[in-house]
């Protein structure tokens, strides 16, 4: 819960800080008042000491009370700001989900019209425009699916049902989705996955992870003038799936940051590679929820990249 909603962790932290600070101030007030009273009792016959002791106690109480009021007031303002931020983020997520759902219906209609145009038209220009519409429509639908997946993951509504799933079948289906786009850009997508390889994972989660990894690899090749994408899976202490490309790459020191939500690597990537920065974030969350691990490697910008996922192998 705290990881999904950082505002909860902040509220708990501020509450703990409030309690510790309040206890320290109260102890400071009690200790000074006790010391002043002990001095007053020791010199009870001296009226000057008694008056000074009384003034000291009053000063400590006023100062301590002032600090407590400021502390509680500051914490109240911070807590309200945190709650307001959490509510704003929740509304933003709801808005994104609502808009994404509204976009899907007209996009599906546009895609259907474009497919009809490509199939029925015999004019080269009409077919070319229809294929362009299909490609752009598919890109928008992938973006909408990523937004919806992100919303479900952030709200904890992504329900996974692990079961033995064939990696070869899932990888073949994912490759088929990007095959036409890769062919039009002269990008060769190769598959090296044993047919009998299984992994315990939700089939939809595996399909989404592979689809996003391949989509990211193809976009990296397009942006970095690459021409090869490879999907390789091996068995050995579990199942390892590696998606490699010879495209744009990234600085090695950003290997962890590329899985952060909305993170884009470098200015060149922002200019040449389309996307929202959600694909790899979704992959990482799905892999972790499925009990796997993920990492990325690159020799540097322009030298390609490899994203590797590891899962325990399903029982045979």
What pLDDT is attached to residue 1? 44
Q: How many CB atoms lie within 10 A of CB 188?
A: 12
What is the C-alpha separation between 238 and 260, in angstroms, rounded? 26
Residue 141 burial (CB count, 10 A): 17
Q: Round to whole Å and give the CA distance between 102 and 184.
A: 30
Residues of the chain with CATH 3.30.565.10: 163-311
27 pLDDT band, cuts 50/70/90, is: confident
Please give the C-alpha separations between residue 68 and each of 18, 28, 77, in angstroms, as whole numbers: 10, 12, 14
163-311: CATH number: 3.30.565.10
3-state secondary structure of 275: coil
**By C-alpha distance, which of 106, 94, 74, 215 is closest to 152?**
94
Please report which confidence band the pLDDT of residue 274 belongs to, taking 50, 70 and 90 as the band edges: low
Name the CA radius of gyration of the chain, rounded. Answer: 30
Average pLDDT score, the chain: 79
Band of the pLDDT at 189, cuts 50, 70, 90? very high
pLDDT at 191 over 50: yes
User: Residue 305 forms beta bridges with which residues?
Assistant: 245
At 87-119, the pLDDT tens digits run 777 777 777 667 766 777 788 788 788 888 778
Q: Rounded distance, CA 240 to CA 311, Å?
A: 7
What predicted TM-score, i.e. pTM, was given to this entire model?
0.63
């Amino acid at each position: 819960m705290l990881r999904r909603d950082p505002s909860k962790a902040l509220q708990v932290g501020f509450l703990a800080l409030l309690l510790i600070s309040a206890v320290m101030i109260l102890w400071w007030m009690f200790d000074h008042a006790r010391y002043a009273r002990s001095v007053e009792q020791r010199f009870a016959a001296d009226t000057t000491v008694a008056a000074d002791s009384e003034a000291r106690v009053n000063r400590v109480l006023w100062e301590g009370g002032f600090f407590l009021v400021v502390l509680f007031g500051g914490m109240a303002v911070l807590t309200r700001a945190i709650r307001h931020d959490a509510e704003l983020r929740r509304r933003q997520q709801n808005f994104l989900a609502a808009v994404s759902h509204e976009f899907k219906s007209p996009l599906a209609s546009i895609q259907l019209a474009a497919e009809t145009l490509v199939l029925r038209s015999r004019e080269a220009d009409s077919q070319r425009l229809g294929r362009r519409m299909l490609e752009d429509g598919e890109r928008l639908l992938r973006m909408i699916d990523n937004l919806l997946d992100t919303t479900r993951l952030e709200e904890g509504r992504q329900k996974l049902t692990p079961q033995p799933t064939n990696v070869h079948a899932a990888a073949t289906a994912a490759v088929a989705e990007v095959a036409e786009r890769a062919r039009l850009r002269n990008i060769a997508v190769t598959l090296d996955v044993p047919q009998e390889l299984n992994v315990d994972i939700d089939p939809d989660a595996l399909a989404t992870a592979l689809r996003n990894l391949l989509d990211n690899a193809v976009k990296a090749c397009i942006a970095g003038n690459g021409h090869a994408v490879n999907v390789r899976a091996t068995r050995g202490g579990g199942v390892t799936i590696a998606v490699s490309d010879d495209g744009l790459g990234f600085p090695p020191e950003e290997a962890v940051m590329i899985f952060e939500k909305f993170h884009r690597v470098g200015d060149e990537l922002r200019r040449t590679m389309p996307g929202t920065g959600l694909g790899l974030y979704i992959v990482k969350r799905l892999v972790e929820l499925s009990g796997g691990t993920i990492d990325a490697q690159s020799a540097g910008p322009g030298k390609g990249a490899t994203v590797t996922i590891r899962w325990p192998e399903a029982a045979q």
